Amino acid sequence: MSQQYRGLVFDAYGTLLDVESVASACEAHFPGQGLALTRLWRQRQLEYSWLRSLMGRHADFWQLTADALDYACAALGLEADKATRSALRDSYLRLAPFPEVPAALRRLAAYRRLVLSNGTEQMLRAALGLAGLLPELEAVLSVESVGCYKPAPQVYALATTQLGCKPGQALFVSSNGWDVAGATHFGFQTCWLNRAGAPAEQLGVAPTLTARNLAELAERLQSAAQRI
């Protein structure tokens, strides 16, 4: 297979790993509030990453995950003791992959494939390992090596350093529209996996490609490579 990109760079949370798969654990602890807790927790997790980057007060994603959970529980009026908070945070180490992801990654084996994520390396390797995805990846890159979060350009530069290429020679893949916008601004070719049929972010840049899921992207890349 001829290759049109020097490598494929994948976001982890919400792209390869389904962050809403923690909802069952949340529901078990707080019946009737599982999905609401899951979504507010994730929202605050992201917001804290952006705010800490802007303030220059970095804390790793494991800490942010705990802080965001504490906020979400308080906002929803849920009383969580230390054991409950610990059990829920640990669910981020066991996130399920989206159903099509394992097979789609295998279909893309002709490409160099790596993950670039806000998560700590320990968090990522735990979840990607349990999901069976680590054998498909050349590297797992964490923002911890630069001490700030996406969409900071120095985070995206970790991937081009790993691949030894210019940004425009790699394809960055994410289900998060804000992440795609940041990667596009950095200079990557980008693919937005618009799983939810969401409107495009209004940030002055547009993705190179849009697909409904990773299987659709794999099909399109294989078809395009066969025409080269």
Write out the catalytic residue numbers.
11
CA 118 vs CA 29, 65, 91, 207: distances in Å: 27, 11, 17, 20
The residues, any chain, with a CB within 8 Å of residue 210's CB and separated by 6 or more, are 191, 192, 194
**Could you please report the per-residue DSSP string of 23-67?**
HHHHHHHSTT-HHHHHHHHHHHHHHHHHHHHHHT----HHHHHHH
CA distance 113 to 173: 11
Taken as a whole, the chain contains a residue count of 228
